[in-house]
Structure 1
């Protein structure tokens, strides 16, 4: 009895599907026919490391704050200790972000004392393999160059100085900085 009832219900469902498929127009429309929508300023897109105009390398000071604050643990940093003028100094050796693990929360950008890491406004990027979404230091610098080349306005980092917090809570570097 149940088998007969079950078979009837399956046949009804198949008949409805065939009717929709064969005799009705599809309701799907092409997205972005003419104008591709632009993200609002401050959109959290592809990661980039800000390139220093003096050294042509990243302006990262290797403080590891972004790595520690990341909830998805997708940032990997390696540093080296160098001796410069009798003082030990930490220097960035490797910097990488696994974008496939990132939740785009922006904590890494917010915590950076020198505004070295940014989330650009590029949102259309894909990868065929997992390695395509693993951004090493060179790729992150290249992302910054592409972003600056295509930017129609100066970059403003919305996390640079959060609203409503007195400047006394910021480090000296952040107080004097004017953004990128």
Structure 2
């Protein structure tokens, strides 16, 4: 008989503790974001894929086609190519692509760039149904930006 009342008391106490937790969660503020309608603010420290920095003075990119980012990349996911044009000092950038399927987001390319032409993108909604969706032409992206 004593065991019956002990089990009854233990069960009632467990119910009270569980209801206390439930009530506490019921009156606490909501922390869930309704994602498609409300976007999260991205911290400035977020490291997305790399992106070319648009120069404010010239309206173009800062890349001098040195290729140090391509050489430094441990994954080999960056392709940089340029050509010597008549009347232009140095090489002109013609190809700058990133294969994001291989990128390890190590940041070595951003650190080694002598002109600070590379920075991390603030994009976090990266989704695609095909592998080709993750091959970025960074030169084209910088030209499309306002």
SS at match of 2:83: strand
Residue 134 of structure 1: how far off its partner (Å): 0.7
Residue 40 of structure 1: how far off its partner (Å): 2.5
Q: Does 1:63 align with 2:66?
A: yes
CA radius of gyration, larger in: 2
SS at match of 1:110: helix
For structure 1, the residue ranges without an aligned partner over 5 or more in a row are 1-30, 147-180
1:40 is aligned to 43
Q: Does 1:94 align with 2:87?
A: no
Task: Using structure 2 for the length normalisation, give the TM-score.
Answer: 0.65
Residue 39 of structure 1: how far off its partner (Å): 3.2
Give the Cα–Cα distance (whole angstroms) in 2 for the partners of residues 131 and 56 of structure 1: 28
Alignment of 1:139-158 (within 5 A): 139-142=141-144, 145=145
1:162 is aligned to none
CA RMSD of aligned residues (A): 2.4
Give the Cα–Cα distance (whole angstroms) in 1 for the partners of residues 130 and 60 of structure 2: 27
Residue 84 of structure 1: how far off its partner (Å): 3.4
Residue 36 of structure 1: how far off its partner (Å): 4.5
Residue 109 of structure 1: how far off its partner (Å): 0.7
1:115 is aligned to 116
Equivalent residue in structure 1 for 2:79, among 71, 76, 79: 76
CA contact (8 A) 2:81 2:95 kept: yes
For structure 2, the residue ranges without an aligned partner over 5 or more in a row are 1-31
Equivalent residue in structure 2 for 1:52, among 55, 66, 80: 55
CA contact (8 A) 1:100 1:130 kept: yes
Query: Number of aligned pairs?
Result: 112
SS at match of 1:84: coil
